[in-house]
Structure 1
């Protein structure tokens, strides 16, 4: 009986591990995915995998083991999404009526835009990415960065001026 006290394969111990670490794993994965449904799926899969591998898990290190499982599952999902995105981008270009010249110009513009964004100051790039990529409002950015809305507006204004100059857009 003493042996079963720390055995993860014991359902009571497994439930204790779930109650103890379930919310932490969920927060950890949600921070990475920003998707509630995907987070739920990954956390559920992590605990299923822990149950399947309960003989290898030790009670003293189960937290690290569980977080490693969850992180690896997240990485697998992220890689899968990258493959899907890459395939879809290739599919769009293969079946489009766009000329090779247009595709070349589009690619050049994309590269110059990436270089221009990389050339912004860290503060400008941070505000620009939060606003344009994450679609946050200036007030949300101000709260997140502990700035005034005016400071966010100023950084965004300077970022846009710098981008226009670097990629020659009027």
Structure 2
């Protein structure tokens, strides 16, 4: 009895792939480039390429193919330039009347230091750190997304923690 393989050329299979991986792929590219609009464009173009080559892509390998296309597109756009992540963080300005101005300034100062420290991580460290801490991906999932081993993810996370602690002191607990 042969198992029938899914085809990406069937619209419902392609829709399922898109719905499952679009947001993660967009965030993955965003963490690498720091520009949300650029990340969305790259991922949308990647899905178009996957659709155009749907007959050539094995459904079970589509995620890997998608991430490869995204990575190659980003590399082509930057052509080996250093990418610096710029966070657009907005603090929730709820009820701050009961907090002292010194405390508010201290929080804002720390937020800026944290953003700078994260931006100063190497691309590889920043990528795994943000996938882990922002997207709540497991090391195994990060390894699959980035095409590296779980040990390499652990090493990059360890280096990211060391660099962040050096930059921030012991103010941050991971």
What TM-score does the superposition give when structure 2 sets the normalisation length? Answer: 0.48
Q: Which has the higher contact order (CA 8 A, sep 6+)?
A: 2
What TM-score does the superposition give when structure 1 sets the normalisation length? Answer: 0.49
Report which of the two has the higher share of helix: 1
Structure of larger gyration radius? 1
